[in-house]
Amino acid sequence: MKPHQWQPLIEGMLEAVLLVDPIQLRILGANRSAHTLLRLPPDTLMGTAVVELAAAPEDLFFWEDVAAGLSDNIFSETLLQRQDGSTIQVERRVSLVKVGLDNSVYVVAIRDHTSQRQVENELEKLIAELRATLESTADGILVTDLDGAIRSYNHLFAKLWGLPEDLLTQRDDAAIYSWMDKCMVDAGHYMERLGTIARSPLMEATDVLVLRSGKILERVTLPQYARGRPIGRVYSYRDITQRLADEARLQLAAKVFESSTDAIFITDGEQKIITTNPSFERLTSYHEEEMIGQTPRDFFSEQSNNDQVEKLLEELEIKGFWEGELWNRRKNGHAYLCMISLVRVQDEDGKTIHYIGFFKDRTETHTAKQKIEELAFSDILTGLPNRLLLAERIKQSIGVASRSNSTFALLFIDLDHFKQINDSLGHPFGDRVLIEVTERLKKCIRQVDTASRLGGDEFVLLLHQADASGAEICARRVLEELNVPFTLDGMSFTVTCSIGVALYPADGMTMDDLIKNADSAMYHVKERGRSDFRFYQRQMNIGLLSRMKLDHAMRQALEHDSFRLHYQPLIDLASGQVIGAEALLRWNDKDMGEISPAQFIPIAEETGVIVAIGNWVMASAIKQAAKWNQGNQVLRVSINVSALQFQQSDFVENLAMALQEAGLAPDRIELELTESILVRDANEALRVLESLAKLGVKMAIDDFGTGYSSLSYLKRFPISKLKIDRSFVQHLPDDESDVAIVTAIASLGHALKLKVIAEGVETEEQRAFLQTLGCDELQGFLYSPALTPAEFESTYLFPPQEKLQSS
């Protein structure tokens, strides 16, 4: 059943329903309820990426999970964005449903949850306000019903009575009362008093409780009323334990003052120093007599820190204390860093009577800290901030941006083909290049920005309070700067880079999200030719996860032998007979259905799994060719070879072994190679081609004319055939440009004594035109689509094939 055939079914449902493609995550169908819910005109959701409905970052992560195939049945609550910009709270269920034998579709059922959520929020708010009131009191509170069952208590109550952790995490009234009984010095009187209170529901009482811990608590007992009737009791407890006598405290303070290793000074209410301790003289070299009458401003101020001293004294007056680091000088003029704490002391009426200062020498600690930070936060090779320091800088930028409602940018930079420099010239030379790149990157940013190295040839630029325009200017500046040739050891060369850009907060709220998304944008630059920049788009992660999902599924398909080969006949134009077949890969996944090679082959090439797939194709096609070439049957089978597979050092050996194991003559196999394989490293390609020619297999250049060709290479290579790409054939004979190109390819091939085959032939007009050019072979739907081995045999091999008559 196709998605549009589901429309009558989903239109009959009260819920909003969407049908979503499992690979692209685009909407295939939606009922009227969905359009009404989202306030959209009918039939406007078709083809929309489902992530465009997301109103929160969490929902984007949800669809990333779906794209990654983490579940085929997910229930969740989320926010959706309507066309007018408003958002609604909904309940949503996503289910993967099989559609026929080969395809699947996600069914997304959505229910408006706004009203229910509003009621729940109001209830939660009321409960939270009541709890906050209970916790904000200065007393420990215990609330019970008339029978003594505990209804609630606050944290201060638990703290005053020292309730153990296990009583805080479980409801056990008897255990709490037992604990309180054990805490009392006079438990008998305590229990008797509780009994009296329990027998008198309206009684108000105040008691003093002496605990074994030494605390003395004042307990106030009041009845709790509801609608004029008592419903329980509220007990409040306040710690009234007497402090140490003032005299004892003063004696203790004097001992601390004299023996403390901290330098201490005390001033009067006007900030004039009245005394210092022995440690003060040891640290500063000033005697107490020299300091009496001076103020902290006189002692700490010098030209370099006047402003800081004024600010700390202002804060001391406002807050009553100040703590921080300050550079000062000893009597001999030597500078030292001191850690200072200043406190304002007031009397009972709030009048300032003293200021007390504590400070200690932190110079050695500061020097050691600087060295440790230099090692911990810097890249050893370039001296740039490393990931750890970058994380701190990004955290600071997030704080500034969130307070000022501004933005900043992150540029993820990856050098293009840097591995070739390391492999060919060595890592020491590569390190020198990285240092040169670092110097150029520094020229491209402002003083407030940060250039960092993550490792290898990856760099990140943090552009403080920059918008998209500022990020674009910086990205273009980096590209221009790196395009200027480098010169090292008399050698000139160019190092280009690919740049991905992510903006806060649109593209991520954390460092990890911003770097991941900038990296994703950079990856798309690499895909499209390198040496450029690109801003992150939300669909990129969906695409990346879809590629990861397909990559995993391909590896599973290899493991479970889920791939299959179909064969399209190759027709000799002169005789009209089938002279061969091209092996074409097909894949039907159990969850995603039939997947086009145009979707999965590029991803297989990116991830490298194409090598394993190519080996399977080669082995399977050779076995099939061996079966078809038994007896007097002569049939050539063409096999496509990827660039990665061709570059494997054991490619020729594997092919020879497969031919030997199948008992197939090598000339019954034809390898189709793209031009890019042959011109990337012409000398190495020629070596491999000569080995293949010596083995006896035939070779053809596939998709000829779509790449970059060199006639000198073409003349040298042992190639026997050129294949005209279908993109040039489909508009024949009406398109003049295609006519010119195909004519030139046919003439070139025949001039070099090569056979010429055209693919994608679908009409009689195309066939007739190609025949006038003298094309040798054709393939396409005009004759036959790709067939299963059984279909191919029954149609063309058994009984012996008839001459094909074109209509």
| pLDDT of 132 strictly over 80 | no
| pLDDT of 242 strictly over 60 | no
What confidence tier does 715 reach under pLDDT thresholds 50, 70, 90? Answer: confident
What confidence tier does 807 reach under pLDDT thresholds 50, 70, 90? Answer: very low
Residues 6+ apart with CB under 8 A from 798: none
Residue 755: count other Cβ atoms within 10 Å of its Cβ: 16
Q: What is the DSSP string of 285-340?
A: ---HHHHTT--HHHHH--TTTHHHHHHHHHHHHHHSEEEEEEEEE-TTS-EEEEEE
Residue 247 confidence (pLDDT): 44
Tokens 């007393």: give the residue: 139
Residue 436 confidence (pLDDT): 94
| pLDDT of 138 strictly over 80 | no
Residue 478 confidence (pLDDT): 95
Does 4 or 577 have the greater pLDDT score?
Answer: 577
Q: What is the CATH number of domain 550-797?
A: 3.20.20.450
Question: Are 783 and 571 in contact, with CB atoms under 8 Å apart?
Answer: yes
| 799, two tokens | 């009984």
User: Which of 81-85, 259-263, 400-404, 544-548 has the highest average model confidence (pLDDT)?
Assistant: 400-404
39-53 mean pLDDT: 86
What confidence tier does 248 reach under pLDDT thresholds 50, 70, 90? Answer: very low
Residue 386: count other Cβ atoms within 10 Å of its Cβ: 18
Residue 374 confidence (pLDDT): 66
Q: What b-and-e string marks burial along 712-730, b requiring 16 or more CB atoms within 10 Å of the CB?
A: eebebbebebbbbbbebbe
Residue 246 confidence (pLDDT): 41
698-706 mean pLDDT: 80
Q: Alpha carbon 322 to chain centroid distance?
A: 42
Residue 806 confidence (pLDDT): 42
Q: Tell me the sheet residues that pair with 328.
A: 336
pLDDT in tens, 394-431: 999 999 998 888 999 999 999 998 888 887 788 899 99
What confidence tier does 709 reach under pLDDT thresholds 50, 70, 90? Answer: low
Instruction: Tell me the C-alpha distance between 68 and 72, whole Å.
Output: 10
pLDDT in tens, 140-199: 889 998 888 888 888 888 888 888 888 887 888 889 889 999 888 888 888 888 888 888
What confidence tier does 770 reach under pLDDT thresholds 50, 70, 90? Answer: very high
Q: Alpha carbon 221 to chain centroid distance?
A: 57
Q: 3-state class of 65 per DSSP? A: helix
Looking at residue 243, the DSSP 8-state letter turns out to be P
Residue 373 confidence (pLDDT): 66
Residue 801 confidence (pLDDT): 45
605-628 mean pLDDT: 91
pLDDT in tens, 719-734: 899 999 898 999 999 9
Q: Which fold has domain 137-239?
A: Beta-Lactamase (3.30.450)
What confidence tier does 499 reach under pLDDT thresholds 50, 70, 90? Answer: very high
Residue 333 confidence (pLDDT): 80
Residue 372 confidence (pLDDT): 64
| pLDDT of 244 strictly over 50 | no
Residues 6+ apart with CB under 8 A from 387: 452, 454, 455
What confidence tier does 564 reach under pLDDT thresholds 50, 70, 90? Answer: very high
667-694 mean pLDDT: 84
Mean model confidence pLDDT for the chain: 84
Residues 6+ apart with CB under 8 A from 14: 33
What confidence tier does 662 reach under pLDDT thresholds 50, 70, 90? Answer: very high
Residue 672 confidence (pLDDT): 92
Label residue 369 left, alpha or beta by phi (over 0 means left) and psi (-120 to 50 means alpha).
alpha
Q: Which CATH number fits domain 3-118: 3.30.450.20, 3.90.470.20, 3.40.50.300, 3.40.720.10?
A: 3.30.450.20
Q: Which fold has domain 253-366?
A: Beta-Lactamase (3.30.450)
| pLDDT of 543 strictly over 70 | no
Residue 410 confidence (pLDDT): 95
Question: Are 361 and 336 in contact, with CB atoms under 8 Å apart?
Answer: yes
Tokens 């032939």: give the residue: 761
Q: 3-state class of 89 per DSSP? A: strand
Residue 753: count other Cβ atoms within 10 Å of its Cβ: 7
Q: Tell me the sheet residues that pair with 408.
A: 504
Q: How far apart are the first and last CA of the chain?
A: 34
Q: Percent of the chain at pLDDT above 70?
A: 90
The angle subtended at Cα 694 by Cα 691 and Cα 698, nearest 5°, is 95
Residue 653 confidence (pLDDT): 93
pLDDT in tens, 54-73: 887 777 777 777 777 766 67
What's the one-letter identity of residue 582?
E
125-151 mean pLDDT: 78
What confidence tier does 805 reach under pLDDT thresholds 50, 70, 90? Answer: very low
Which residues make up the CATH 3.30.450.20 domain(s) of the chain?
A: 3-118, 137-239, 253-366
Q: Tell me the sheet residues that pair with 581.
A: 569, 637
Instruction: Tell me the C-alpha distance between 758 and 728, whole Å.
Output: 9
What confidence tier does 368 reach under pLDDT thresholds 50, 70, 90? Answer: low
Residue 535: count other Cβ atoms within 10 Å of its Cβ: 21
Question: Are 723 and 759 in contact, with CB atoms under 8 Å apart?
Answer: yes
Residue 435 confidence (pLDDT): 94
Residues 6+ apart with CB under 8 A from 797: 628, 633, 635
| CATH class of this structure's domain 378-537 | alpha beta
What confidence tier does 785 reach under pLDDT thresholds 50, 70, 90? Answer: very high
Which residues make up the CATH 3.30.70.270 domain(s) of the chain?
A: 378-537
| pLDDT of 222 strictly over 80 | yes
370-386 mean pLDDT: 79
Residues 6+ apart with CB under 8 A from 221: 197, 203, 204, 205, 206, 207, 233, 234, 235
